Amino acid sequence: EKVAKMLELKKKLGEEQKPGKFVIKCPKGTRDYGPKEMAVREAVFGTIIESFKRHGAETIDTPVFELRDVLLSKYGEEGGKLVYNLEDQGGELLSMRYDLTVPFARYLAMNKISNIKRYHIAKVYRRDQPVMTRGRYREFYQCDFDIAGEYEKMLPEAECLKIVDEVLNKLDVGNFYIKVNHRVILDAMMSVSGVPKQQFKTVCSSIDKLDKEPWEKVEKELIDEKGLTKEVTQQLRRFVLFREEATDLDDIQTLDKMMEIEALRTNADFKKGTEELKVLFNFLSLYGVTSARFEPSLARGLDYYTGVIYEAVVEPSEEVRKTIAEGAAKENQDSGEASIEGQGLPTGVGSVAAGGRYDELVKGFSGKKDSVPCCGVSFGIERLFAIREAQLKCKDVPMRTVATEVYVASAQKNLLEERMKLCRSLWDSGVRTEMAYKRNPKLLDQIQNCEAKQIPLMLIVGERELQEGVVKLRYIKTREEQDIPLATLVESIREALLKA
């Protein structure tokens, strides 16, 4: 028995390196971003960051790993299972962050900050089963915007939803809407339906599948796996599918209509949640947000939400969906990840942003006294990338991956030093300039390079021109050429850039 235990321990250690050749690949569930992907990524980040700044957010950054105790105390059982641990190499026990919210709460508690509006864009890590076709990776970016502080009810929530609405409109990713629900409304529906309190969480995670699966399948799971009775699921059904039964009502009318149900009306939780949501929807109309929609079946997984919760869902065009699925299938194949689930699966509706109110998270760190109410939203950026990449592929838009404005070329041999001097003048004046790294590059190669990289201008050095104190300027698009005096090189280039 001792030996068996030893072997098990040894297996757990797994420190021995396997000898011999190894495969050159990225770790499972991760990927490289090449220049083209980076160009898309930076454009998407740019749009999101501009929206965060437009709403007055500051930015912070925290380490990629945290003390293990800090993380595990907050992610609960579900999250905890997916956390990457660092090996114990002596010293503190560390784990990699699973989201940016717990590190944010730790930052607030540690620095005793009671109000801040901040964004944080960084990678997070989940040892999940990767599904590339759905943009689900083990390493992925989150773009978080959060408002911490004791404020007028629903104002921070309204601003978070305004930002989601702005970003998804600006990114032009297709039809989208934002499902909105309230933690205490969920609790009320459970309680009124007769779900035992300790079952709320697990029932919620079944309910949450209603956007992908029909009620019958979810109900079967609730009865067979979660042990609910048919009576209870029938009650639940009435609430969570309320909007499907009354499609002509708007959000406030729906809430009012639900209020007519005796059991809900007399439930304090339901009353509180409904009142808050009504304030929220009023604020949203002042902010011009028409994409939000009360959805009683929305149930977000994480433990720490205490108030309004929301999730934005995008429905890309059929063409875009197909392109994503093809690209991801190819990627899986290339990386030899045959085992990855969901290969070739059609990419359907996907959540691209989600969040809510979490008033107790910071308190858990800093002790009972100070509670810092928080509310935020996190963009699931990998899906937005995937949609943008597919859109560009469909439209066949050529991506620029360099910012070069001028390419310094030569038509004859032995002009390396002259090209270098020109580059220097332009660099020193702040003009983005490149040249070939060969001593005697061919003119055709240099022109082709400019065309491939979409560099707008080319300077062609020649001996005749140098003697005359000029250099030839070529507009790559129009192939127009003109001589410009070396004496006013930078000014001429600046003018030409405006025209090119």
Q: What residues between 287 and 346 interact with a copy of itself by CB under 8 A?
A: 287-288
Cα-Cα-Cα-Cα torsion 333, 334, 336, 341, nearest 10 degrees, comes to -40
CB of 180 to a copy of itself, least distance (A): 18
Count of other CB atoms within 10 angstroms of residue 2: 6
- Ranges within 389-418 binding a copy of itself (CB under 8 A): 401-404, 416-417
- Residue from 76, 128, 149, 363 that binds a copy of itself (CB under 8 A)? 149
Task: Report the length, in residues, of the chain.
Answer: 500
Restricting to residues 356-375, name those near a copy of itself by CB under 8 A. 365-366
CA distance 46 to 52: 10
Site for a copy of itself in 447-466 (CB under 8 A): 453
Residue 89 — φ and ψ, nearest 5°?
A: -105, 25
Q: Is 283 in the site for a copy of itself (CB under 8 A)?
A: yes
Measured at the CA of 125, the angle between CA 31 and CA 383, to 5 degrees, comes to 55
Structure token pair of residue 29: 């569930």
Q: Judged by CB, which is closer to a copy of itself: 321, or 419?
A: 419
Of the ranges 51-59, 193-201, 306-314, 471-479, which one interacts with a copy of itself (CB under 8 A)? Answer: 51-59
Bridging pattern class, strands 457-461 and 350-357 = unpaired
Q: How far is the CB of 86 from a copy of itself (least distance, A)?
A: 6
Contact between 65 and a copy of itself by CB under 8 A: the answer reads: yes
DSSP state of 439: S
Q: How far is the CB of 266 from a copy of itself (least distance, A)?
A: 29
> Which one of 232-240, 264-272, 294-302, 436-444 is the stretch in contact with a copy of itself (CB under 8 A)?
436-444
CB of 322 to a copy of itself, least distance (A): 25
Q: How far is the CB of 133 from a copy of itself (least distance, A)?
A: 19
What track of x and - describes contact with a copy of itself for positions 70 through 109 (by CB under 8 A)?
Answer: x-xx----------xxxxxx-xxxx-x---------xx-x
Question: Helices (DSSP H) in 113-196: which residue ranges?
Answer: 155-171, 183-193
- State the burial class of residue 222 (Cβ atoms within 10 Å of its Cβ: 0-12, 13-18, 19+): buried
Q: Which residues contact 183 (CB under 8 A, 6 or more apart)?
A: 273, 305, 306, 307, 308, 309, 356, 357
Shortest Å, Cβ 236 to a copy of itself: 36
